[in-house]
Amino acid sequence: MILLGSPKNTTQKIIKVIFVSCLAVVLVVGYLLSNAKPAQSTAAVEASMSEVVVKNPVANEPQPRKAMAEIIDIKAPAAISVKIGTGENAILLGKNETQPLPIASLTKLMTALVVLENYDLDKKIVVTDAAMAEAGQQGSLKAGELLSVKDLLYITLIESSNRAAYALTEAMGPEKFVETMNAAATRLGLVDTRFADSTGLSSDSYSSAQDIATLSSHLLNRQSLFLEIIGLKEYDLYDSDGQLHHRLINTNELLGQVDGVIGGKTGWTPEAKGCFMVIEKSPDGTGYIISVVLGSDDRFTEIQKLINSR
């Protein structure tokens, strides 16, 4: 007689349990493998992360954006709108934004940077006959007039005066000044930019909408006086005796007319046509939006199209 719990029966039961357990494990593993998503390698994950980190707010984009022609009708050959804000920098719209083009008086943005980085703003400069020989009728400068660097910078940026810009250039020396402008362009990574003068009159100067936005962003973030100056619709300069010296009217027609616009810089020559950089407060209050048009026949209207597209 075979008793329950004998060695033979126990061995058979153990074998059955092991077999069933193994079968269950095989089925579960097979199911998991068939439904699992392929794992990314560390390198792939890092690459994916790097695609959404924007170190340069103008030269990189955190996500694809539509070409400008798909959204609004901009006839200017090149244009760009860039959101500048901590952690949210992005190109919003772009059209041929890296194409080098003449930029006229947008050149004075770099003139301003060189002055702000290298000059004593209180230093006095004499306006020379050479400065007065520069083309343009902007402002009411006179040969022999003594002005501070700061006053000349106001005249340069508000009235876009070629004569004031050249007077600033002479304090360093025209050749050295232009060398410093191009060195600063290299330092800022403005790869589509070259300067031949401080005024923008030279046909040998050029830049791109993207580079102008990058330069403007740098000035906005690093030079508080820049925004203070370009945000003035009008400004009166007084001499040491308290007498009115110069009354300046900003060439930016959108100041005080378009909500959110807090500054900008205009430019025009027959070759460059209408050029315009404008800074506006971001509608969500988290930063700024810089927009640029180059080569436009109607720069103020086209900038407003960029503003109204958001």
Residues with a known catalytic role? 105, 108, 160
* Pairing of β 273-281 and β 90-95: unpaired
Alpha carbon 302 to its chain's center: 18
Question: Rounded to whole angstroms, how far apart are CA atoms 248 and 241?
Answer: 19
265 assigned ligand-binding residue = yes
Dihedrals phi, psi of 262, to nearest 5 degrees: -120, 0
Question: Rounded to whole angstroms, how far apart are CA atoms 188 and 148?
Answer: 28
Question: Rounded to whole angstroms, how far apart are CA atoms 94 and 299?
Answer: 15
Burial annotation 210-219 (CB, 10 A radius, 16+ → b, else e): bbbbbbbbbb
Dihedrals phi, psi of 299, to nearest 5 degrees: -60, -40
Question: Rounded to whole angstroms, how far apart are CA atoms 92 and 106?
Answer: 21
DSSP 274: E
Write out the binding residues for substrate.
Answer: 265
